[in-house]
Amino acid sequence: MRSNLRILAAGTLLAVGLSAGLSGCASSFPADPDGTLDRVSGGTLRVGIAPNGDWTDMTDDGEASGIEVSLIEDFAETIDADIAWVEGSEEALFTRLEDGGLDLVIGGFTDRTPWLDRAAITKPFTEVSTSDGVEKHVMAASRGENAFLLELERFLLATEGAP
Amino acid sequence: MSVAFGETELPQKQTEILRKAIRLEWLTIAFLAVTVTLVFFVLGNSQAMKAAWIEDLLSFIPPLVFLIAVRIARRKPNPKHPYGYHRSVGVGHLVAAVALVTMGTFLIIDSASGLLAAEHPSIGSVELFGQVFWLGWLMMGVMALIALPPVFIGRAKMTLARELHDKVLYADADMNKADWMTAVGSIVGVGGIGLGLWWADAAAALFIAGSILWDGVKNTRAAVEDLGDTRAMTFDDAKPHPVVHRVDEYLRSLHWVEDAGSRARDQGHVLHIESFVVPRSRRKVAVADLVAAREACVALDWRVEDIVIVPVKELPRVVRESHPAR
């Protein structure tokens, strides 16, 4: 009796998942709940930039430069996207990322960033030896946008160790 | 070499079953060690995977409790523990059940708060054998791989639990048998993430957490009943233990006995029985008759060893109420 109930519950869950998937836009797997990759491909990639040494910099007249900036410019080219740079403090940028106002935040972050819970942190794209040990550098994408995250990580892994 | 639980020598068949059960539990532990490690490496940010992993971790408890309990139960009764150490099974059962309740509750709160906060789980890429692909595929693959073996182990243990009258082994087998649901649940959760349904993951985790909590509640109830001296039941708590009825019937069939009734409690593997007999002669009862009756009862079944036969004028109320004549 009870095991029948369990099977019923599992079956229902499976059926709901499948039907939602088939009826929904199952164009890519994994898919983005908010469709980030579809929107930015051929559109505009909104990137938050927190100035941080050689990694990210911003001039007064809004010219972005740095190692991560070049990486993102190359990435944007692969998906045919224009980039809208938004400069700000880390807190302001991560809050906007969570609200859906940004797609990506860069700022020379390492995998020990305290923003781990507020964003989808990419796999490290480069490692740098410093006096504090090895720093593994990462970027921060919008949470749960897995198609976009996967696309970005594929690009970063392909250009690993570039700088 | 024969094995004894306290003073109770196990028959040949039960000795072999006990050995088999111990081997199966070690096999379970080895299997769990592999799955817990595998799942740990592909956990990612999925709440459903986390729930499944915690369930796998908790699955270590029943086999360990079983292995410890059967070891302790072998000790002989002594002045400090006149009933022996059979209750170690019940104590272990309760400990395991409470652990399930605690973790089930924690996971339900954890998953529900993730669902309410609309947390979107992020699952990125993984690089394996030079290929970069979505980590979700690997998660689903691992879960599909480990879904079925516990079901077969569980089925095998269930048969042994019946023969051995071991409720920890029964609870363990019962949980193993339902283990595939956890694997399927987490596959559905991760698959849901892949389809862009962020809530599917937390929903699947809630489902898994619910099943852990349910296992815990069910087993806590059973363990408390046994420790609270509920009448002896079969290994799956489905019906009163038939041995007690056979003891009563045997005693009633004796020429010097007018009526008889027993109360029995489950000590773990063995039963502790107090049988009340109303002799036909109100004057005297032969010690030899009592001793012979006791030995015959012990010979009825290996679970009957600790049995006391008390001559009385009339049967006590509790025994009268379960009398078949009523």
Pairing relationship of beta strands A126-130 and A120-121 according to DSSP bridges: unpaired
Angstrom CA distances, B174 to A50, B17, B62, B234, stand at 55, 18, 11, 15
Using pLDDT thresholds of 50, 70 and 90, give the confidence band for residue A25.
very low
State ipTM: 0.81
- Residue B114 near chain A (CB below 8 Å): no
Chain A contact probe: residue of B110, B111, B113, B122 with most A CBs at under 10 A: B122
Query: Among residues B145, B215, B210, B185, which one has the least CA distance to residue B46?
Result: B185
Architecture of the domain whose range is B4-227: Up-down Bundle (1.20)
Q: Express as a percent the part of chain B with pLDDT over 70.
A: 99
Contact B54, B213 (CB under 8 A): no
CA dihedral for B123, B126, B132, B133, sign (positive or negative): negative
Phi and psi of A101, rounded to 5°? -85, -10
User: How many beta-carbon pairs under 8 angstroms link A with B?
Assistant: 98
Average pLDDT rounded to a whole number, residues A71-78? 96
SS3 letters for B217-277? HHHHHHHHHHHCCCECECCCCCCECHHHHHHHHHHHHCCCEEEEEEEEEECCCCEEEEEEE
End-to-end Cα distance, chain A: 62
- Residue B120 near chain A (CB below 8 Å): yes
CA-CA distance, A158 to B49, in Å (whole number)? 28
pTM equals 0.85
Half-sphere exposure of B242 (CA within 13 A, CB side): 6
3-state helix, strand, coil in chain A (%, to 5): 40, 25, 35
Angstrom CA distances, B50 to A102, B110, B230, stand at 29, 10, 37
B6-58 pLDDT per residue, tens: 888 889 999 999 999 999 999 999 999 999 999 999 998 999 999 999 999 99
- Residue A154 near chain B (CB below 8 Å): yes
Given an 8 Å threshold on Cβ–Cβ distance, is B191 in contact with A13? no
Indicate the burial class of A95 (C-beta count within 10 angstroms; 0-12, 13-18, 19 or more): middle
CA dihedral for A137, A141, A145, A150, sign (positive or negative): negative
In angstroms and rounded to an integer, the radius of gyration of the C-alpha atoms of chain A is: 19
B242-322 carries CATH number 3.40.50.1240? no
Using pLDDT thresholds of 50, 70 and 90, give the confidence band for residue B96.
confident
CATH of A31-159, one of 3.40.50.150, 3.40.190.10, 3.30.300.20, 3.30.930.10: 3.40.190.10
Which residue ranges make up each domain of chain A? 1-29, 31-159
Q: A163 pLDDT exceeds 80?
A: no
CA-CA distance, B294 to B302, in Å (whole number)? 13
CA-CA distance, B269 to B255, in Å (whole number)? 31
Q: B112 pLDDT exceeds 60?
A: yes
Find the closest chain B residue to A140 by CA distance.
Answer: B122
- Residue A8 near chain B (CB below 8 Å): no
Query: Among residues A156, A89, A40, A153, which one has the least CA distance to residue B122?
Result: A153
And the tokens for A115?
């923003």
Report helix angle B12-41 to B135-147, nearest 10: 180
- Residue A79 near chain B (CB below 8 Å): no
pLDDT confidence of residue B129: 86
